[in-house]
A and B are shown apart, each in its own frame.
Chain A
Amino acid sequence: MLIERSSAWQEAFIERLENREQWDSWTLYKMSYDISKNNLITDFKGLQSLKYLPNVTPLAHQLEVAERVIEEMNGKAILADEVGLGKTIEAGLILKEYLIRGLVKKALILVPASLANQWVEELQLKFHIPAMLYRKNFDLDYLDVVVMSMDTAKRSPHKEKIYAQDYDLIIVDEAHKLKNHKTISYTFVQNLKKKFCLLLTATPIQNDVFELFYLITLLKQGHLGSYETFKSTFSANKRDVEQDSFLNELVNQVMVRNRRQDTGIEWTNRQVQVIPVEFTDKEREAYELISGLKDVSSVFSGAFSTITLQREMCSSQEATLGTLKKLSADCRSTDEIAYVNEVIQQLGNLSVHSKAEKAVDLIIKANDKVILFTEYRATQMYLCEYFHSKGISSVLFNGKLSKNSREWIKHLFKQNAQVLIATESGAEGINLQFCHHVINYDLPWNPMKLEQRIGRVHRLGQEHDVHIYNLAIQDTIEDHILGVLQGKIEVFEKVVGQLDDILKTTKKSEEDVHVSATNPRISKTILQ
């Protein structure tokens, strides 16, 4: 057994025996002994940190997570609680515990730039951990607990500075961003030494089960075997129940996931509705023209550009026009140009988008604060203008806003405006419990994005049932998206565990079932 001791005390003791230094006070000597005795960690198990944190009252599930991660998982885990259950608190508790127990001296916390300040504040104010926000030219030798944006950390010269340090604990927030093993971020984290490591994400699977494979492999190489064996055992087309439960068990050894309903806290309900929207005849015509573009010109023949245009057409004329004009610059033949121009003209003739009208109906009916999510900046602008013409006040929120502007927009929304129109990139890290209506104006391909969106309002502190309206235009690409979303949710639930309602309606709510039932096509897609 390795025994470490220092001779420093002995040397200074000899100095005093030889009368070169003064002796200390007996009172302070006794006090020092008492402090050591009072603060002694007498057990391997249990959390010491709580008595050091009188200002934090962790919830039962957060304490369980912290204890399980430290005692059973050896400090290496994916913290995958649903959005809004306090993963930051859990990570803070674990970090604090390790600091108190002396097992961690240096910790690195990698986060999206937009969340960096929030992390520093929470660690300092709630946990009394002297965390610092990294700035260029800071000397990492002198920073024991440092918060850094992933985008900065993965680049030179910061990357090299980090590798030169010896971190005991690595925390990665929003770790689903590491799902792709070919990215620089992934390689960067892969090559960090991970004595202890916490990966935080509410959405460990976004699209397919391989994302989880790579995330777990990043945390603990070999836990799910090699890629080849994993692929042959768990590939999507020949999975069975037995294998699913085996995989589920393996995953649970390195991942903790609390669901809202497991927390013992009274949660308000989610009322999820799919709101079918009908195109007008003219809109339908324009949609068909756009779908036909691929047969007319090679510029549009890529499946991706057609789908993009179709989705944009389901959102707003403005979004469609933007992409159309950009692509049409590549058109050469007069036939192509004529066709594209016809489409553009057709779009110009359209009046208010049917979806926008529907959105206004919903907002008026809600008669309350509403968050509306769209995938497109052009739609964002369009809706803002249209809402204004209808006497509805709105503010815009997107990923380009600085921290101060974000706070200001949030404040405006709370105090003045009825609607917050946000793009995807705005959905991260803002908390808006004072609002309980969410309109998903456009649907993303990824169900976890929907979960993140809903998580902005359905979190601790929400007092009302949360109403979620998923808008989908009938007989368009959006039907297909609904189907894909449902498929991905099924994979997630088999491997990771249940998800709170995102798409489907709760059984209790007959009214909602009724809404879906009026549209047999869509209800089939959702419920199959």
Chain B
Amino acid sequence: MYPQQIHGYLRQFFNENNCPIVNGNEHYMTVQLTVEMDKKIMNRPFYWRYIESVNETPNPAQITLITNIQQLNEGVKGEVVHLGSPRLHQLFQVTKDMGSYVKMYEQLQTRQGEQAVLTPWLSVNYKISFRSQQTKEALHSLGINLMTGAVFQEFQGKLNNLNLAMEPPENVFNLPYIITPVRALDRLDAVIDRIVGEEDRNWAVESKKRWQKDQAVLDYFYEGQDVKPECYEIEKQAMEERFKPRITIEIVNGGLFYLRN
């Protein structure tokens, strides 16, 4: 992420959370936090416990975040934020926590007397990690039609082009789902399993080869010893943790969507 991307991200994040940007330019911003955001990111539970116990007027913090220190010449003091800085990492985590579940309705213009129909969908964004002594990740965005059970990939891209809101538009009929969201989630999980199953397995084969080679060296070292010492078992265990191929499936976020077909 370039400085301008990060700047854009921060601006959007604080706007969305009702934290006004009180000062700044394209290289830095000073943000007035809300009480809620202060509690989330400033890590001062004792202050908040005190304020709340004595019923004093809370004074949430202002923070200055610098996104491009090279371009800054006004002697602004603040935290330098870049990819990899703890602050940005923290805000990413907050974003993830606050953006995990949605229920959205597509907005349409209807003529007088006309009734439109919206179809329910479940969309889930999966992150797959392939791990052994090395790792790789993949992102899959799936959507399933809760009336027909049809599954689509790259669903998030489709959703991004629609005009969605949290409230249903007027004069629109939302079809009740036939497949329940919980059942639909099971189906998407099965689809993900199939996608994962079709992935190239060479990485796992390679890891197992390395594992066997190291195990052979270790066994040779203790050849002829019937009772093996503790450090043999420790090393064997370490080897398994290092080389054993495994796949982790994590859900980034997902939601219920009412869309025009």
Contacts and interface: CB of A to CB of B under 8 A. Distances in A.
Contact of B238 (A23, A26, A194): A194
B181 A17 contact: yes
Contacts of A192: 234
Interface string A166-206: 00100000000000000000000011111110000000000
B20 interface: no
Given A31-B9, A74-B133, A128 B85 contact: yes
A193 B253 contact: no
A5 B248 CA distance: 6
Interface of B: 1, 9, 12-13, 16, 82-86, 92, 95-96, 98-104, 125, 127, 129-131, 133-139, 141, 156, 160, 164-166, 181-182, 185, 189, 193, 196, 201, 203-204, 210, 214, 217-222, 230-232, 234-235, 237-238, 241-256
Contacts of B219: 222
A222 B221 contact: yes
A6 interface: yes
Nearest to A75: B133
Nearest to B99: A28
A193 B230 CA distance: 11
Contacts of A221: 217-218, 221, 231-232, 235
B230 to A, nearest CB: 7
Highest count of chain A CB atoms <10 Å: which of B84, B85, B204, B210: B84
A142 interface: no
Contacts of A139: none
A12 B221 contact: no
Interface in A32-74: 32-33, 35-45, 51-54, 70-71, 74
A83 B138 CA distance: 41
A327 interface: no
Given A1-B204, A10-B185, A38-B1, A27 B131 contact: no
Nearest to B248: A4
Interface in A6-30: 6, 9-10, 12-14, 16-17, 21, 23-30
B84 A35 contact: no
A103 B185 contact: no
A72 B125 CA distance: 33
A35 B196 CA distance: 22
B99 A30 contact: yes
Closest 8 CB pairs of A and B: A222-B221, A52-B84, A28-B99, A32-B99, A2-B246, A29-B99, A9-B251, A5-B249
A3 B193 contact: yes
Given A30-B160, A33-B125, A33-B252, A12 B135 contact: no
Given A53-B84, A226-B221, A194 B235 contact: yes
